[in-house]
Chain A
Amino acid sequence: MPSNPKRLLEDLKSLLGRNKVIEDEAIVRLYSREPSGLESPALAVVFPETTGDVSRLAKYAYSHDLRLFPQGSSTSLSGSAVPLDEGVVVTFEHMNRVREISVVDSITVVEPGVRIDELNLELAGKGYMFPVDPASSAVATVGGAINSGAGGMRSAKYGTMRDWVLGLEIVLPDEHGSVLRLGCRTLKCRQGYDLVRLIVGSEGTLAMVTEAVLKIAPLPEQVVVALAFYPELRDVAEAVVAVKEQGVQPYIMEFMDDRTVEAAAKTVEVSVEASGHMFLVGVDVNREAAERTASWLSRTLSSAGATRLYVAGTVNEAEERGFFTLRRSLLPAQMRVAREITGSPRTLVYIGDIAVPPSKLVDAVEELRSLEAKYGLFTMIGGHIGDGNLHPAVGLDPRNKEQARRVEEWYLEVMELALKLGGTISSEHGIGLLKREGLRREFQHLGSEKALELMKGLKRLFDPKGVLNPGKVV
C-alpha cells in the first residue's frame, strides 16, 4: 500500500493526464466489486488509452511498489477482477477499438476493451464471427475473456479463448514497462515456448494485454435447432450419445435439469410446454441439408425418449418460437429462486464451473443432487452438455454466516466431485480468489503438486515485485 496516497494520485495524473484518473470514492467503488459478491476498495481507477499509457503505468508501479488490478467489465464469477491491497484498478474500457478485420487472413486485431458482442456485430457485416460466446458476451470484453480463458455455448464445437488467440501485445510490470509482441498473425505459429497461451487464462497476474490478434470463423450458413424435454436424466445422456454417434458435432448442446426448467418457466414467459430435463441442440448445416438434418434430429431425439420435441429449421425461427428463452433465463431464474429461498434482496448466487467428461454427466448431476440434500441448499443445474461443463448454482444471503459457511463447503465439495469423475474444477470462469483451494486440490488429486510451484515461479519471473493482481490464481 502506498505510504502517501495523495502523492500517488498526483503522480498518476501527471503520468497519464488528469482525465484518465478517477478518485471519487463512489465511482471507484463501481470498479471494486463483481457479480461473485466480492468487494474490496481500490484507491483509484485509471483509464489508459494507449499502450504507452499502460507501459508508463507499469513502470511507475514497479518502481513505487504499487499494486495494479487490470479489469475488463467486472463480470468475473471467481473473484478474478476484484482489487485487493488498496491498489489501483486499470480499466481498459477506453481502449475499445477494432483495429483490423482481414477475411483473407482470417483474423481481427482488437484492443482489449472491445465487447465481444460489439466485435461480432462488426464481423457479421463481413459474414464472419468470433465464436467464443460467454453468457456475458453483451458486456464481457475481449481482454477480460482472454484473461479468464472464457468459453461459452459454442465451446463444444469451437473451444475456448485459448483456441482463438493467435497473438498478443503485452506490457510487463518491470523497470521499463516493457512492451512485448508475442505470437503471430498467421494460423500456424511455432515461436518456441507458447507464451501466448500462458497469458490466456492468467487472469491479469502476469502481464497486461494491450492488443490481441484473434482468429475469426465464417458464420454458419444455417443452423437447425431442436428443443427436447426428457423425463429421465439418462435419456438426455442417450440423446447426446445418439447425436454424437452419427458423426455430428453440434454448434450448441445445452442442458437444464427438470427443477431448473420449472423455476425458469416461472421466471420468463415460455411459448413451449416446458417440463422435464431440457436438451437444446443446434446443428450448423448447408442450406440444402437443413430439411434432411431437421428430420434426422427429430427422429434421433424422439428415439432417445423425448416426451416433447420442437424443431426449427433456422435460428430466426427458433428465436421466434422461443427455443432459447429457457436457457437464457438460467441466470435470472437462479437469482429469482435464490432470493425466494433466502428471503433477502441482498442475495448472492454462487455458481460452480466444473467440467466432467460428457460420459460422466449423469453421474455428476446425480451427485450434485445428493450434495443438495447433504447441505440443505436448493441447487439449480444447467450447463453446456456438449463439453461436460456444468454450472450448479445456489443462493445465499452473505449476512447469514451459517449459510455462507455451508455454501463454501458445498462449493469445495462440488469441485471434489468433478475431480473424482475425472473432470476439472474450472472450465471457463477462472480461478480468481474463490477457487485457489480447488486448484490446489486438483493438482493434489493428480499427484502433481509441483505444478503449483512451477506456476508460482512463472509469476515471479513475469512479475518479480507482485505488482499485478496479487492474491489471485496461485
Chain B
Amino acid sequence: MPWSRARILEEAEKCAYCGFCEAACPTLPYGRHRGYGPRGRVALSGHLAAGGQASSEVLVSLYTCLTCAACTLKCPAGIDIPSLVRAARSLVAAAPHKKRII
C-alpha cells in the first residue's frame, strides 16, 4: 500500500535524532554530509512530505540510500527507514515538476 504524506510525516516524527542508525550505514562514510546517512534521510523524508523543496542535495541524499535496512535494526524508535525513503522517492517522482514538492 503506498504511503500517504501524512504517514511519511508521522514516521519521520518518530525519530528522536539519537543517531544510533548512523553507525550501521554503509553510505554515510562516503558522503559529504549527514544527509548521506539514515538520520538525515529520515529528516529529509519528513521535509519533503511537509512540502519542503527537493533540492539537489536532498535528492542525492535520498537516492544514494541502498535501502539495505541495516539502520532499521539499530533504530530505537523502530522506524522502517528503507520504506520511508522509498515513499519519499515516490513523492519526488509524483511531483508535477521535479524541483518543487508542494
Q: Does B33 contact A (CB under 8 A)?
A: yes
Q: When A27-B35, A139-B23 are in contact, do A22 and B47 touch as well, CB less than 8 Å?
A: no
Cβ-defined contact, B57 with A22, below 8 A: yes
Q: Check B76–A26 contact: CB distance below 8 A.
A: no
Q: Name the contact of B20 in the complex, choosing from A33, A93, A138, A348 (C-beta under 8 A).
A: A138
Q: How far is the CA of A33 from the CA of B13 in the complex (A)?
A: 13
Question: A19-B32, A335-B76 in contact; A26/B23 too (CB < 8 A)?
Answer: no
Question: Which of A26, A74, A332, A339 contacts B44 (CB under 8 A)?
Answer: A26
The distance in angstroms between the C-alpha atoms of A109 and B76, with both chains bound, is 32
Q: Are B20 and A74 within 8 A (Cβ)? A: no
B35 touches A136 (CB 8 A): no
Quick one: closest A residue to B55, CB to CB? A24
Instruction: Tell me the B54-77 residues at the A interface (CB within 8 Å).
Output: 55, 57-58, 61, 74, 76-77
Are B23 and A117 closer than 8 Å at their CB atoms?
yes
In the bound complex, do residue B19 and residue A74 qualify as a contact, i.e. CB atoms below 8 Å apart? yes
The reply to whether A332 and B76 form a contact with Cβ atoms under 8 Å apart is: yes
Q: Which of these, B20, B53, B58, B76, contacts A139 with CB under 8 Å? A: B20
Cβ of A391 to closest chain B Cβ, rounded Å: 14
List chain B residues, Cβ under 8 A from A115. 23
Q: Does A349 have its Cβ within 8 Å of any Cβ on chain B?
A: yes
What is the bound-complex CA distance between A339 and B76, given in angstroms? Answer: 12
Q: Are B35 and A345 in contact (CB under 8 A)?
A: no
- The smallest C-beta distance from B23 to any residue of chain A, in angstroms, reads 4
A31 in contact with B34 (CB, 8 Å)? yes
Q: Which residues of A contact B77 (CB under 8 A)?
A: 332, 335
Closest residue on chain A to residue B76 by CB atoms: A332
With a cutoff of 8 Å between Cβ atoms, the chain B residues found around residue A45 in the complex are 33
Distance in Å: Cβ of A70 to nearest Cβ of chain B: 15
Q: Determine the interface band of chain A, counting residues with CB < 8 A from chain B.
A: 20 to 34
B53 and A26 contact, CB distance less than 8 A: yes
On whether the beta carbons of B13 and A30 are closer than 8 Å, the reply is: no
Q: If A26-B44, A335-B76 touch, does A75 touch B58 (CB 8 Å cutoff)?
A: no
Within 8 A of A (CB), among B1-46: 10-11, 13-14, 16-20, 22-23, 32-35, 39-40, 43-44
Within the complex, the shortest CB–CB distance from B9 to chain A, in Å, comes to 9
Known: A24-B58, A136-B18, A346-B13. A30 touches B23 (CB 8 A): no
Q: Provide the residues of chain B in CB contact with A348, threshold 8 Å.
A: 16
Q: What is the CA–CA distance of A335 and B39 in the complex, to the nearest angstrom?
A: 16
Residues on B with beta carbons closer than 8 Å to the beta carbon of A339: 14
Partner of B17, one of A35, A93, A138: A35
B55 to chain A: which residues have CB within 8 Å? 24-27
Q: What sequence of 0s and 1s flags, for each residue 113-137 of chain A, a beta carbon within 8 Å of any chain B beta carbon?
A: 0010100000000000000000010
Interface string of A21-60 (1 = CB under 8 A from B): 0101111011101110000000001010000000000000
Are A30 and B22 in contact, CB atoms less than 8 angstroms apart? no
**A56 to B76 CA separation, bound complex (whole angstroms):** 39
CB-contact partner of A47 in B14, B19, B33, under 8 A: B33
Which residue of A is nearest B44, CB measured? A26
Q: Which residues of B contact A (CB under 8 A)?
A: 10-11, 13-14, 16-20, 22-23, 32-35, 39-40, 43-44, 47, 52-53, 55, 57-58, 61, 74, 76-78
What is the interface of chain A, defined by CB distance below 8 A to chain B? 19, 22, 24-27, 29-31, 33-35, 45, 47, 73-75, 93, 115, 117, 136, 138-139, 331-332, 335, 339, 345-346, 348-349
A-B pairs with beta carbons under 8 Å apart, 17 shown: A22-B57, A26-B44, A27-B57, A30-B33, A30-B40, A30-B44, A35-B17, A73-B19, A73-B22, A74-B17, A74-B19, A115-B23, A117-B23, A136-B19, A332-B78, A339-B14, A345-B13
